Chain A
Amino acid sequence: MNKISAAFSAGKAFVPFITGGDPDLETTEKLLYALDQAGAAIIEIGIPFSDPIAEGPVIEAADMRALQAGCTVDKLFDLVARVRPDIQAPLLFMTYYNPIFAYGIARFIERAAACGLDGLIVPDLPFEEREELYQPCKARGLTLISLIAPTSDTRIRQIAMESEGFLYCVSSLGVTGERSAIDDSAKYMIEKVREISDIPCAVGFGISTAEQAQAISAFADGVIIGSAIVRIAAELGRDCVDAISAYAKTIKQAIALP
């Protein structure tokens, strides 16, 4: 079984997202250990991008801070290589396509595999365009995570059938960011997926409170939380590690409830 799918076998999965290099790489390193300790099933590390069109203001601002602080793809590869032996959770890069493309697809994948990264999430690379990245990933044992959205409808079937690792279910329209209410779209999507596949389904976009996480985990295999964590990093800067660790534990506990 794929290492990423396997991360879903020990109960409901908590999948945190942090922006790499925000506020600096040392803090990112501490956060990776802290999130792993707090029971994260998988950790997403965002490669900061100048124009993150699928992100709301919280993650966009984090990207700008990280770029200002000098974060680069190379530095994040080095970081992953350094922490990999001591972290249990599979590690994913969440990155827009251009940083991969500019690095050179083959060179990027080679480097990612060599440093022990487990997979990639590329939000601006839909199913129809993914071939040129999918094949090199597959050849080096990296998982390219597929996404579905409330607008996917008839596409759900095709995407789910060819998905690997887990399926990233975008809970609602729009961009990333905390939302006070999350509707039934995700539940409906997962029901559609279940008709044809047993791929683990993790829901992201908009989730911030323990109550929301618990409600989502009632029908999903995992919850992905980004903006709520990144907001703590924005507020506390280098001192964010304990607060994020405590927050992660709250979420982990909430989704462990029956």
Chain B
Amino acid sequence: MEKGRFGIYGGQYIPETLMRAVTELEQAYERWRSDPGFVSELQNLLAQYAGRPSLLYFAEKMSRDLGGAKIYLKREDLNHTGSHKINNVLGQTLLAKKMGKTRIIAETGAGQHGVAAATAAALLDMECEVFMGAEDMERQALNVYRMELLGAKVNRVTSGTSTLKDAVNATMREWAGRMTDTHYCLGSVMGPHPFPVMVRDFQAVIGEEIKVQCMRFEGRLPDAVIACVGGGSNSIGSFYTFIGEEEVELIGCEAAGKGVDTAENAASIANGAVGVFHGMKSYFCQDEYGQIAPVYSISAGLDYPGVGPEHAALFDRGRARYVPITDEEAVDAFAYLARSEGIISAIESAHAVAYAMRYAPTLPKDRILVVTLSGRGDKDVAAIARYKGVSVSE
């Protein structure tokens, strides 16, 4: 593989000013990733602080009710801070500290990565600033306050569509102006090299645990691993260890919003075209002139017009398949999981649950599906109520 490339995807398409920052990061990551002290420090944090390994839970009622394959849920929602994002931020913040940085900056969509970054910064004594689209701040007001409680400063981003892509723009601009003491703690497997590789490595623990746990419970690998895809970090983390195991089907669930045939969706693989944006070559929702499209999803965490370059490559070579899931399907799955298993998952993760609900009944009972629940859904309760026309006051 050419440096930082997944097939034709990936690369380092960034302004010259930022080249030093990414080169420095690349070198630091190469140096520390295999350093025994760094590795054990990170493992210790993941175990003692984040609560890893996360459960692989057999959703027996749901499996029985759907009447097909056995469904296991990988419970990333039970991690400290309530999502898989903690895996990545602990890795990156620890690395930033080794690099002598004293401040981290981060973009956030739903607020989960922002909360995780603010948490890691509090724990590891770093200053933290989070950039968040104004619209997302409305949708996720509680997470904004949560970040502030953790000592982070939250900056409101009002440019463009005031959502996740604009938050990434703002964070990149901030980094270009201040990199000596600052690390950009990117939240997904996107952006310029080395982010897609580094974030994937920090998230790969999800799939590695699935493998061990599934072997323990079932004595074999799962038949399919299903996860939601925005930028694609929980999904690549779930998939990575299985890429070489050709018999394990890998399925990513994209946000189809109001439908892939409408203008309001965020399905960059189903609807996008190859392009270059945010430092990487990958699939992006865009118009014929390469203007990045204003995307939409009920889920602020999947409301991003692109997808990580490794997913683009997995899609091209047919190793993973990607299915669009609408808001409506996700909201139904959210409610279904709550009632059938007593688990309120993030609306992002509900996209993966929705596909499992569709797929499991078509398979024999001896098949095994693993669905990654990337996060918990407390943050989404108010929005789901609004979607259903229920008025809730906090």
Do chains A and B interact in one complex? yes
Taking CB atoms, residues of chain A closer than 8 Å to B290 are 49, 98-103
Take A60-B159, A97-B276, A102-B286 as given contacts and tell me if A126 and B179 are in contact as well, using a CB distance cutoff of 8 Å. no
Take A98-B276, A101-B275, A102-B273 as given contacts and tell me if A151 and B292 are in contact as well, using a CB distance cutoff of 8 Å. no
- A32-80 interface (Cβ within 8 A of B): 49-51, 53-54, 56-57, 60, 64, 67, 72-74
Does B165 sit within 8 A of A, measured CB to CB? Answer: yes
Taking CB atoms, residues of chain A closer than 8 Å to B291 are 49-50, 67, 99
Take A53-B173, A173-B176 as given contacts and tell me if A129 and B16 are in contact as well, using a CB distance cutoff of 8 Å. no
Taking CB atoms, residues of chain B closer than 8 Å to A175 are 173, 176-177
Take A50-B291, A51-B160, A101-B290 as given contacts and tell me if A151 and B173 are in contact as well, using a CB distance cutoff of 8 Å. no
Distance of B116 from chain A, by nearest CB (Å): 24
Give the CA-CA distance A53 to B184 in the complex, in Å: 15
Take A72-B289, A97-B276 as given contacts and tell me if A151 and B19 are in contact as well, using a CB distance cutoff of 8 Å. yes
- B161-219 interface (Cβ within 8 A of A): 165-166, 169, 172-173, 176-179
Does B21 sit within 8 A of A, measured CB to CB? Answer: yes
Give the CA-CA distance A149 to B176 in the complex, in Å: 10
A131-164, CB under 8 A of B: which get 1 and which 0?
0000000000000000111111101000100000
Give the CA-CA distance A219 to B128 in the complex, in Å: 39
- B11-60 interface (Cβ within 8 A of A): 11-21
Which one of B160, B172, B177 lies within 8 Å of A50 (CB-CB)? B160
- A59-118 interface (Cβ within 8 A of B): 60, 64, 67, 72-74, 97-103
Take A53-B173, A54-B176, A99-B289 as given contacts and tell me if A128 and B12 are in contact as well, using a CB distance cutoff of 8 Å. yes
Taking CB atoms, residues of chain A closer than 8 Å to B172 are 53
Decide: B275 and A149 in contact? CB cutoff 8 A.
no
Taking CB atoms, residues of chain A closer than 8 Å to B16 are 123, 126-127, 147-149, 151-152, 155, 159, 170
Decide: B276 and A151 in contact? CB cutoff 8 A.
no
Taking CB atoms, residues of chain B closer than 8 Å to A155 are 16, 19-20
Does A211 sit within 8 A of B, measured CB to CB? Answer: no
Taking CB atoms, residues of chain A closer than 8 Å to B19 are 126, 128, 149, 151-152, 155
Taking CB atoms, residues of chain A closer than 8 Å to B287 are 102
Does A174 sit within 8 A of B, measured CB to CB? Answer: yes
Taking CB atoms, residues of chain B closer than 8 Å to A99 are 289-291
Q: Chain B CB within 10 Å — which of A67, A126, A152 has the most?
A: A126
Does B277 sit within 8 A of A, measured CB to CB? Answer: yes
Give the CA-CA distance A240 to B171 in the complex, in Å: 32
Least CB separation from B174: chain A residue? A174
Decide: A97 and B13 in contact? CB cutoff 8 A.
yes
Does B261 sit within 8 A of A, measured CB to CB? Answer: no
Decide: A53 and B286 in contact? CB cutoff 8 A.
no
Does A239 sit within 8 A of B, measured CB to CB? Answer: no
Give the CA-CA distance A51 to B277 in the complex, in Å: 9
Taking CB atoms, residues of chain A closer than 8 Å to B279 are 124
Give the CA-CA distance A151 to B24 in the complex, in Å: 11
Does B246 sit within 8 A of A, measured CB to CB? Answer: no
Taking CB atoms, residues of chain B closer than 8 Å to A153 are 20
Give the CA-CA distance A129 to B3 in the complex, in Å: 11
Q: Chain B CB within 10 Å — which of A100, A150, A151, A153 has the most?
A: A151
Take A53-B15, A124-B15, A129-B13 as given contacts and tell me if A102 and B176 are in contact as well, using a CB distance cutoff of 8 Å. no
Decide: A125 and B13 in contact? CB cutoff 8 A.
yes
Decide: B286 and A98 in contact? CB cutoff 8 A.
yes
Give the CA-CA distance A49 to B292 in the complex, in Å: 8
B261-303, CB under 8 A of A: which get 1 and which 0?
0000000000001111111000010111111100000000000
Give the CA-CA distance A217 to B281 in the complex, in Å: 38
Taking CB atoms, residues of chain B closer than 8 Å to A72 are 289
Least CB separation from A168: chain B residue? B16
Least CB separation from B288: chain A residue? A102
Give the CA-CA distance A171 to B79 in the complex, in Å: 45
Give the CA-CA distance A131 to B252 in the complex, in Å: 33
Take A101-B276, A125-B13 as given contacts and tell me if A151 and B21 are in contact as well, using a CB distance cutoff of 8 Å. yes
Give the CA-CA distance A99 to B169 in the complex, in Å: 17
Decide: B14 and A126 in contact? CB cutoff 8 A.
yes
Decide: A53 and B169 in contact? CB cutoff 8 A.
yes
Take A49-B291, A50-B292, A151-B179 as given contacts and tell me if A102 and B275 are in contact as well, using a CB distance cutoff of 8 Å. yes
A187-206, CB under 8 A of B: which get 1 and which 0?
00000000000000000000
Taking CB atoms, residues of chain B closer than 8 Å to A53 are 15, 169, 172-173, 278
Least CB separation from B4: chain A residue? A128
Least CB separation from B19: chain A residue? A126
Taking CB atoms, residues of chain A closer than 8 Å to B20 are 151-153, 155
4 closest residue pairs by CB, A with B: A102-B290, A174-B177, A151-B20, A149-B17
Binding site for B on A (CB under 8 A): 49-51, 53-54, 56-57, 60, 64, 67, 72-74, 97-103, 123-129, 147-153, 155, 159, 170, 173-175
The 14 listed contacts between A and B (C-beta, < 8 Å) are A49-B291, A50-B291, A51-B160, A54-B17, A72-B289, A73-B289, A97-B13, A98-B275, A101-B275, A102-B290, A149-B17, A151-B18, A151-B19, A151-B179
Knowing that A99-B290, A150-B17, A173-B179 are A-B contacts, what are 16 other residue pairs whose CB atoms are under 8 Å apart, sorted by A's residue number? Answer: A51-B169, A51-B277, A56-B173, A67-B291, A73-B289, A97-B276, A98-B275, A98-B290, A102-B287, A124-B14, A124-B276, A129-B13, A149-B16, A151-B179, A173-B176, A174-B177
